[in-house]
């Protein structure tokens, strides 16, 4: 029987072919040539490697992100600036591997209904070209309970990414009304979901990074696909009613009020917001710890709401004008009419989200008659304040003359 020859387990050379053959504890061997080769690789390796995960994705600068948000979101400059930096840092981290473990820039958006939280997230998703899922925290339940568990969000994102694992793992999940999942305390009413802490824990698992098995595209193999949530960006939002009281009570009136008016105090409270205030409100410490970027959106004033109606790309008024133009009719709004629309939104505390609802209600009869109006020769409609406040008919223009629609035969 031929005796066995000791060889290097890396290059298969025996002792006669190399200067030295070093033995390991488990009976393995490595030759001096392989040791030298490994040493050269290790010593010449740069400290930071720039392995691009998605070569086609060019990370926009904070200024570019902010400029895009400005096209669609009115006011909220500080929140937009903070969010722009957070997004830039997140996708810079995603597209470049470093030896340093960089923290993911998940985002919390706090502010009243209709201040632009969801719109910001939607605008970013479209601008960055990444898939996005928007959900309501109140629909999420602890695993094992009736309802949708947090892991189902990953499957929805996978579907939104057209079943691309790569795009899914760089997508955005926006969870609204996260404040409704706060633990019960003096600032959170008993109407809050009793499973709130469990839902926070479930979301925390995804935010920290884990592997989720999700169903593959129908009739595709394998049946399950593994999704790594490490680089999925989580944006959570909520009105956080009562959060101001938490901050004020912590600091004391003398520090935040400056003996000034109530309105001035409200304007200042979010400048003093700290992590412990969110924990006091009812978010668990681990969950808050995974939200390094916290943004408080201001209540929109009447001037802001007027601008929202008219200024952004694809503004509400521009959309309505486009809809009417499809029936070959122009529509115009007087300034006072726009002001009355805003007054209703403010009085009913609807914020920007209610502006379209108000317009649709006030223009219902006009839109119902729209196809027939063109046949009657109507080419322009003017909406004044009486249409909004009193429900009167608008001005119908036939040629150069304003007429009653009943006389437009």
- Mean pLDDT per 10-residue interval, the chain, length 409 residues: 65 76 77 72 40 54 95 92 90 81 87 89 88 90 61 93 92 93 64 69 93 89 90 93 89 53 56 90 94 89 94 94 95 97 92 91 94 92 96 88 55
> Is residue 54 included in any domain, yes or no?
no
> 3-state DSSP call for residue 374?
helix
Q: From 227, 261, 296, give the residue that closes a domain.
A: 296
Residues 41 and 105 in one domain: no
Residues 272 and 345 in one domain: no
**pLDDT value of residue 75:** 92
**pLDDT value of residue 25:** 66
Residues 365 and 289 in one domain: no
Supply φ then ψ for residue 102, to 5 degrees.
-85, 135
Let me know the angle formed at the C-alpha of 88 by 284 and 280, rounded to the nearest 5 degrees.
Answer: 15
Whether the ω angle into residue 283 lies within 30 degrees of 0, i.e. cis, is no
Distance, CA of 265 to chain centre: 29
Residues 265 and 324 in one domain: no
Helix (H) or strand (E) holding 393: none
CATH code at 290?
3.40.50.300
**pLDDT value of residue 106:** 92
Q: Write down the pTM of the prediction.
A: 0.72
Query: Are the C-beta atoms of 105 and 90 separated by less than 8 Å?
Result: yes
Query: Are the C-beta atoms of 73 and 116 separated by less than 8 Å?
Result: yes
The rounded distance, in Å, linking the Cα atoms of 44 and 190 is 61
> Is residue 155 included in any domain, yes or no?
yes
- Residues in CB range of 200: below 8 A, 6 or more apart: 181, 283, 284, 287
Domain that holds residue 69: 62-296
Residues 330 and 182 in one domain: no
Residues 120 and 218 in one domain: yes
Residues 67 and 38 in one domain: no
Q: From 252, 270, 296, give the residue that closes a domain.
A: 296
Residues 166 and 141 in one domain: yes
- Residues in CB range of 130: below 8 A, 6 or more apart: 167, 170, 171, 172
> Is residue 52 included in any domain, yes or no?
no
The rounded distance, in Å, linking the Cα atoms of 69 and 63 is 10
332, β-bridge pairs: 382
**pLDDT value of residue 334:** 96
Residues 13 and 130 in one domain: no
């Amino acid at each position: 029987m031929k005796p066995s020859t000791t060889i290097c387990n890396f290059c298969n050379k025996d002792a006669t072919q190399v200067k030295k053959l070093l033995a390991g504890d488990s009976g393995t061997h490595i030759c001096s040539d392989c040791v030298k080769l490994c040493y050269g690789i290790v010593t010449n390796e740069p400290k930071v490697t720039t392995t691009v995960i998605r070569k086609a994705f060019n990370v926009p600068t904070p200024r570019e992100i902010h400029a895009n948000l400005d096209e669609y979101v009115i006011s909220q400059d500080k929140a937009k600036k903070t969010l722009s930096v957070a997004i830039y840092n997140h996708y810079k981290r995603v597209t470049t591997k470093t030896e340093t473990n960089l923290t993911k820039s998940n985002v919390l958006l706090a502010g009243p209904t209709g201040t632009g939280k969801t719109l910001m997230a939607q605008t970013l998703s479209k601008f960055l070209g990444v898939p996005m899922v928007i959900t309501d925290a109140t629909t999420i339940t602890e695993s094992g309970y009736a309802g949708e568990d947090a892991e189902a969000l990953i499957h929805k994102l996978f579907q939104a990414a057209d079943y691309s694992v790569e795009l899914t793992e760089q997508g955005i999940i926006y969870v609204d009304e996260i404040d409704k999942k706060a633990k019960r305390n003096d600032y959170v009413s008993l109407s809050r979901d009793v499973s709130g802490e469990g839902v926070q824990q479930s979301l925390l698992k995804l935010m920290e990074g884990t592997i989720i098995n999700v169903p593959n595209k129908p009739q595709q193999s394998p049946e399950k696909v593994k999704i790594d949530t490490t680089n999925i960006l989580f944006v959570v939002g909520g009105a956080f009613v009562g959060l101001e009281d938490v901050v004020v009570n912590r600091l004391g009136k003398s520090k935040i009020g400056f003996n000034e008016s109530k309105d001035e105090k409200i304007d200042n409270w979010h400048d003093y917001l700290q992590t412990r205030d969110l924990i006091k409100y009812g978010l668990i410490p681990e969950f808050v710890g995974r939200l390094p970027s916290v943004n408080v959106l201001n209540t929109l004033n009447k001037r802001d709401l007027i601008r929202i109606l008219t200024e952004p790309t694809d503004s509400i008024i521009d959309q309505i004008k486009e809809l009417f133009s499809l029936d070959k009719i122009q529509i115009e709004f007087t300034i006072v009419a726009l002001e009355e629309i805003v007054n209703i939104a403010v009085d009913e505390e609807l914020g920007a989200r209610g502006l379209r609802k108000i317009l649709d209600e006030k223009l219902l009869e006009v839109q119902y008659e729209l196809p027939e109006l063109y046949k009657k020769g109507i080419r322009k409609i003017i909406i004044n304040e009486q249409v909004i406040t009193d429900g009167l008919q608008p001005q119908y223009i036939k040629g150069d003359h304003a007429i009653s629609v009943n006389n437009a035969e």
